[in-house]
Amino acid sequence: MTREKTKKGRGSIVITAERCKGCAFCVEFCPTEALKLSEQYNKKGYHPPVLISEEKCNGCNVCGLMCPDFAIYGFVHGKKAS
Protein backbone atom coordinates (compact mmCIF):
# COMPACT_ATOMS: atom_id res chain seq x y z
CA MET A 1 0.00 0.00 0.00
CA THR A 2 1.50 3.29 -1.03
CA ARG A 3 1.32 6.11 1.41
CA GLU A 4 1.59 9.73 0.50
CA LYS A 5 1.87 12.68 2.71
CA THR A 6 -0.30 15.40 1.36
CA LYS A 7 -2.01 18.63 2.26
CA LYS A 8 -5.47 17.35 2.93
CA GLY A 9 -8.08 17.57 5.63
CA ARG A 10 -8.13 15.32 8.65
CA GLY A 11 -10.51 13.02 6.86
CA SER A 12 -12.33 12.36 3.67
CA ILE A 13 -15.49 10.85 2.27
CA VAL A 14 -16.57 7.99 0.06
CA ILE A 15 -19.62 8.51 -2.12
CA THR A 16 -21.64 5.77 -3.82
CA ALA A 17 -23.09 8.15 -6.34
CA GLU A 18 -25.63 5.74 -7.80
CA ARG A 19 -27.35 5.35 -4.44
CA CYS A 20 -27.75 9.07 -3.85
CA LYS A 21 -31.24 10.57 -4.08
CA GLY A 22 -30.15 14.17 -3.92
CA CYS A 23 -31.76 15.02 -0.58
CA ALA A 24 -28.83 17.33 0.28
CA PHE A 25 -28.83 16.50 4.02
CA CYS A 26 -25.07 15.98 3.84
CA VAL A 27 -24.46 19.24 2.03
CA GLU A 28 -26.60 21.29 4.37
CA PHE A 29 -25.48 19.76 7.63
CA CYS A 30 -21.77 19.17 7.04
CA PRO A 31 -20.20 21.11 9.94
CA THR A 32 -17.31 22.36 7.83
CA GLU A 33 -19.41 22.99 4.70
CA ALA A 34 -17.12 20.74 2.77
CA LEU A 35 -19.73 19.40 0.35
CA LYS A 36 -21.83 20.63 -2.49
CA LEU A 37 -24.15 18.92 -4.96
CA SER A 38 -22.26 18.18 -8.12
CA GLU A 39 -23.24 19.34 -11.58
CA GLN A 40 -23.20 15.73 -12.73
CA TYR A 41 -26.23 13.47 -12.64
CA ASN A 42 -26.32 9.89 -11.50
CA LYS A 43 -28.37 7.32 -13.43
CA LYS A 44 -31.52 8.24 -11.57
CA GLY A 45 -31.18 11.90 -12.39
CA TYR A 46 -30.00 13.12 -8.99
CA HIS A 47 -26.99 15.33 -8.29
CA PRO A 48 -24.74 13.45 -5.89
CA PRO A 49 -22.53 15.42 -3.50
CA VAL A 50 -18.84 16.10 -4.00
CA LEU A 51 -16.15 17.45 -1.70
CA ILE A 52 -15.63 21.14 -2.30
CA SER A 53 -12.14 20.97 -0.98
CA GLU A 54 -10.25 18.13 0.59
CA GLU A 55 -8.86 20.35 3.32
CA LYS A 56 -12.27 21.07 4.75
CA CYS A 57 -13.25 17.50 5.54
CA ASN A 58 -12.43 16.51 9.08
CA GLY A 59 -13.82 13.00 8.82
CA CYS A 60 -16.58 13.58 11.39
CA ASN A 61 -19.01 11.34 9.47
CA VAL A 62 -22.05 13.48 10.18
CA CYS A 63 -22.76 13.04 6.48
CA GLY A 64 -22.63 9.28 6.88
CA LEU A 65 -24.97 9.31 9.84
CA MET A 66 -27.36 11.66 8.10
CA CYS A 67 -27.53 10.01 4.72
CA PRO A 68 -30.84 8.17 4.40
CA ASP A 69 -29.58 6.21 1.41
CA PHE A 70 -26.24 4.98 2.77
CA ALA A 71 -24.62 6.75 -0.15
CA ILE A 72 -21.90 8.68 1.66
CA TYR A 73 -19.72 8.27 4.70
CA GLY A 74 -16.76 10.00 6.19
CA PHE A 75 -13.65 8.66 7.80
CA VAL A 76 -10.59 10.02 9.53
CA HIS A 77 -7.39 9.25 7.70
CA GLY A 78 -5.59 6.37 9.31
CA LYS A 79 -8.64 5.23 11.22
CA LYS A 80 -11.76 3.15 10.56
CA ALA A 81 -14.90 5.05 9.68
CA SER A 82 -16.74 5.58 12.96
Partner 1 sequence: MAEELFDVEAAPPGNTVEEFLRMERMPHIWCPGCGIGTTVNCFAHALETSGLDLSRVAVVSGIGCTGRVAGYINLDSFHATHGRAIPFATGLKLANPELKVVVYSGDGDLTAIGGNHFIHACRRNLDLTVILINNFIYGMTGGQVAPTTPQTATASTTPFGNFEQPFNLPYLAESSGAVYVARWTAYHVRHVTKAIKEAIAKKGFSFVEILAPCPTLFSRRNKLGDGLDQMMYFRDHSEIRNDADTKSIGIDFQGKIILGKFVDKERPTYLDAMNEYYRNKLGDRYVPYNG
Residues in contact with partner 1 by CB under 8 A are 1-10, 12, 14, 19, 21-25, 28-29, 46, 62, 64-70, 73, 75, 77-82
- Is the Cβ of residue 39 or residue 43 nearer to partner 1 in the bound state? 43
Half-sphere exposure of 66 (CA within 13 A, CB side): 16
Contact 14, 46 (CB under 8 A): no
Strand partners, 75: 12
Nearest distance in Å: CB 46, partner 1: 7
Nearest distance in Å: CB 39, partner 1: 18
